[in-house]
Chain A
């Protein structure tokens, strides 16, 4: 059953890639991709609950289905589904019909790498899959082939490759630390490293963990290694931005979380968690600086991603059952909310023909449905009730109160308030400033551009009002799989 679902999960994007490349027709490619994303979402939905009851190993132990991985997988599948629906509507507006089949092949390939990465049991292979996500997505970021998108793609691949090479160095040092205990050759899986961690040399482990943290932190968009993120997220087509922000960052975060679990079992003292908390706070700080004075619509959303990755880092950094649960809940909510924000931004940018906030006004009159949904999404993403992110952020604050890094809770609360004001101020301008008269009637947005926004906002509202009991149990299992009580 589980093995079957995993096969379906990985093979449907593969079929979509092959189909797109063979058919070479834009309509066929977009429907194949859409079908693949629906199948992936259906297959991923039960996985978190099927992953309970111990880690499940497949294919000679190279594939691992465990609660933390299954959760990231679910988030990726949700974002893939939403983005694929949106892409059908949005990509038709771009006038790139002849190359569209390449886009969908790359898009499915990007989803495939992100679906495979959380399943990797071998630490080295995990690194390789994360590296592959960069290579595939670079070409999606540069798809529009303007000067800006090419620049963004170049910065993205250089900065992320350099950063992720630090993670490789850290991984090798982990292997070395293990080989001093376990002998020169062994299978470098998460559980083997975790079991041997207590006997490894602490100085070496701290160095290795810090390298891994900086490496995967670059990929996860934690400041000060976030510099690629605003460019890549703002210059790719809107569905790609949604995938980068809602899915890719979580995949990298999973790497940090798994290594953090290993260092926890080695009992290295406060340094690893404090480092993660400091990166989280710094990300929030950088996000505040750039959100308040931001002029680009999608760059605003990109800095909001830096903010939310910072919040997740804080949740995992505070740790404990409450911190882990809240960070995972935040991950799901962010994966629902950020695509919504990018879709809204995409619709508005198409309709107004600009990506600069000062030139946008009167969105509510011009695009009533998009406007209302986008505004609701903005309220949600700044952490206001009654949406899911409010619950997860408050729970992270609560988790922090009982840990060693209480100072971070107060800083986080202040920064969140500033972000709330700064972010919504931009929306006040875009929504309620009287519209500059424009004789050109805007294109009517198709059903495909609106539907995914509804699909995102409804669960977000539900999760804000009701945190299902089953999820608490599940988060408890994740915390247990990561090493339990710290």
Chain B
């Protein structure tokens, strides 16, 4: 298995990329400007693409180079472009009525990372992988998941919610590159493609929201209750 016998260089490269992606998630959490969400997401996607390539190099999985190129193309270029088009159409520059101030959401995000670390430690301890990179990979995977959910819960703009969902997916993708690099190619390809369809659907729906609800803030979505 790859993660049990890694060279120190590889191990620190993996850690660097994983932690940098987590940092990008915190940038999203700590900002109100939608464009900075988009930049942070793009940076995160490129880091994941780089991680795929590095894992492919050190783990001798040539198909991961292919995945890296596709990740960079899909998540790093095409998705940000689609999102940019949606943002331009919306004329919404920033999150206006966040439930939590960015500062307090950063604190909650930190607590979520601690929680993710405790879970990851527990799991790795039971697998006997405590001194490997598995702890870090699981921590980053779970905390990006939790931060994505936090973003979904406290942000109201449609575009922030889409980005929250994409952070969820990025977290899974990042963790799976380190933990299960041998996952069949087909599945990774289809998941990438699936993401594209998801964002395209969101684009259409956002347009409907503009036309029929007159707003893209989920605060205005309160007709259906009970």
Contact = CB atoms under 8 A, between A and B. Distances in A.
Interface of A: 122, 124-125, 128, 131-132, 135, 138-139, 142, 145-148, 150-155, 157-158, 161-162, 165-166, 168-169, 172, 175-176, 179-180, 183-188, 201-204, 207, 230-231, 234-235, 290, 293-296, 299
Given A132-B194, A186-B182, 8 more contacts: A128-B187, A132-B197, A145-B211, A162-B165, A169-B171, A234-B224, A293-B226, A299-B226
Given A153-B208, A169-B141, A185 B184 contact: yes
A148 B201 contact: no
Contacts of B110: none
Q: Which 7 A-B pairs have the closest CB atoms?
A: A184-B182, A185-B182, A124-B187, A203-B126, A150-B212, A231-B224, A151-B221
B221 A172 contact: no
Interface of B: 1-2, 119, 122-123, 126-127, 141, 145, 148-149, 152, 158, 161, 164-165, 168-169, 171-172, 175-176, 179-184, 186-187, 190-191, 194, 197-198, 201-202, 204-205, 208-209, 211-214, 218, 221, 223-224, 226
Contacts of B122: 203
Nearest to B200: A135
Contacts of A158: 152, 161, 165
Given A128-B190, A155-B221, A295-B226, A162 B168 contact: yes
Contacts of A183: 182
A157 B183 contact: no
A176 B138 CA distance: 11
A145 B2 CA distance: 51
B194 A203 contact: no
Contacts of B182: 179, 183-186
A436 B77 CA distance: 61
B184 A145 contact: no
Contacts of B226: 230, 290, 293-296, 299
B190 A172 contact: no
B34 to A, nearest CB: 17
Nearest to A168: B172
29 contacts: A124-B187, A124-B191, A135-B198, A138-B205, A142-B208, A145-B212, A151-B213, A152-B224, A154-B205, A154-B209, A158-B152, A165-B145, A165-B165, A168-B172, A168-B191, A169-B141, A169-B172, A169-B175, A172-B179, A172-B183, A175-B183, A179-B1, A184-B2, A184-B180, A186-B182, A203-B123, A204-B123, A204-B127, A296-B226
